[in-house]
Amino acid sequence: MRRLSTGFVRSGIGILISLACLYLVLRSVDLGQTLSLLGGARLPWLGLAALGVVADLFFRALRWQCLIAPIKRVPLRRLGGYMMVGYLANNVLPARLGELVRSHYLGDREGISRSATLGTVVVERVVDTVILVGIGAAAILILNVRGVVVNAILVGVALAGLLVVALAVALAAHRLPGAGRIGAFLGRWPRLKGVILRLRDGLRVAALPRTLAASAILSVAAWSCTVVTVLAVGQALGIELTVGEGALLAAGTNLATAVPSGPGYLGTFEYAGQTIATAFGLASPIGLALALLIHAITLVISSAGGAVALVRLGWAGRSATVGVATRGHTTTETAGATDTNAPV
């Protein structure tokens, strides 16, 4: 019950933040001009933008396969499906709850601890944040941008540093002073201790140099595709963006999705995109049109891919199938037992 209430609170906060961002975006924009720009978008460039999103998703699937590989080899086709289901959930659920959905989905289907799977997703998010902050910082230096955008990137630098330190501490926790006493204390709750240990198993992939390097390279490839998408959307709207401007837009809008928000990052994405575009000297309606179109293409493709994956893979998981098969064999003695070694 406590988890449920916490989830509602987190979701409520995210929705309020999205509404606040939408208000800030719409209060001083000529929506007629924005809609006129969107209506005149050129289809060939939108096609290129869509290809950029598809390529981005492909590299992300490869990256997750690389991070999961030390735990278990999972075919790319199946793993990509699990990832797309999670992205679909992110598009319809607030506060990035899709990350939990894809961790559960892969763990349940492949017989991997869901906590360990979530650990690889955490590593993925840390790598993403570091790469995005690096791209944003480089773009700012090249473009000589000033104002709120610079402050936001500086906050991102601080956040990336904190995430890296937190990950390092989590990996070395068993070697820190007092680790034995903490372990003994957690021993009072074996299931909680098991979850923490399995989560650390997933985090340990960050300690493998080759895995981490491959993950970083694939992240750069994925975000390069996102930059291509941004530039293509700009061309579709008749806006000539430089590579640096496209990179800053890609980094800034996606860093904004780390802020708790409503379904599909609605509001936070648009506010970040409009703010960055105005820093380039673009009018607010143009910046909003740019952000809306980038966001819409990304949401449509990821949602469609997630829906196809969900239909192909089905919702009922491995544990549900096992439960149905063994229901008739459950005895009174085993019905009340708790398996502390089951995937969590």
Other beta carbons within 10 angstroms of residue 295's beta carbon come to 19
Compute the average pLDDT of residues 323-335. 39
pLDDT grade for 144, boundaries at 50, 70 and 90: confident
Q: Residue 269: pLDDT above 50?
A: yes
pLDDT band at 333 (very low <50, low <70, confident <90, very high): very low
Distance CA 97, CA 109 (A): 19
pLDDT, tens only, 81-102: 999 999 999 999 887 888 999 9
Report the pLDDT averaged over residues 322-328: 42
176-205: b or e for each residue (b if 16 or more CB lie within 10 Å)?
eeeeeeeeeeeeeeeeebbbbbbbbbbbbb
Lowest mean pLDDT among 260-264, 292-296, 313-317: 313-317
Query: Is 80 exceeded by the pLDDT of residue 178?
Result: no
Asked if residue 32 lies in contact with residue 283, where contact means CB atoms within 8 angstroms, the answer is no
User: What are the tens digits of pLDDT across the range 208-244?
Assistant: 999 999 999 999 999 999 999 999 999 999 999 999 9
- Which of 97-101, 170-174, 297-301, 335-339 is predicted with the least confidence, judged by mean pLDDT? 335-339
The pLDDT of residue 150 is 72
Mean pLDDT over each residue of the chain, to the nearest integer: 84
Q: Check whether 186 has a pLDDT greater than 70.
A: no
Is 183's pLDDT higher than 90?
no
pLDDT digits (tens, 9 = 90+) for 279-291: 999 999 999 999 9
Residue 57, CA atoms < 13 Å, CB-side half-sphere = 27
Does the pLDDT of residue 335 top 50, yes or no? no
Averaged over 276-281, what is the pLDDT?
91
pLDDT class of 322 with cuts at 50, 70, 90? very low
216: amino acid identity, one letter = A
**How much of the chain exceeds pLDDT 90, in percent?**
54
Cβ count within 10 A of residue 307? 14
Q: Which two tokens stand for residue 246?
A: 């496209």
In the numeric block, which tokens belong to residue 74? 């999972």
Which of the two residues, 324 and 202, has the higher pLDDT score? Answer: 202
- Which comes out higher in pLDDT, residue 169 or 64? 64
pLDDT in the model for residue 237: 96
Task: Return d(Cα 161, Cα 158) in angstroms, integer.
Answer: 5
208: left (phi over 0), alpha (psi -120 to 50) or beta: beta
| Mean pLDDT for the stretch of residues 122-145 | 90
d(CA 110, CA 116): 12
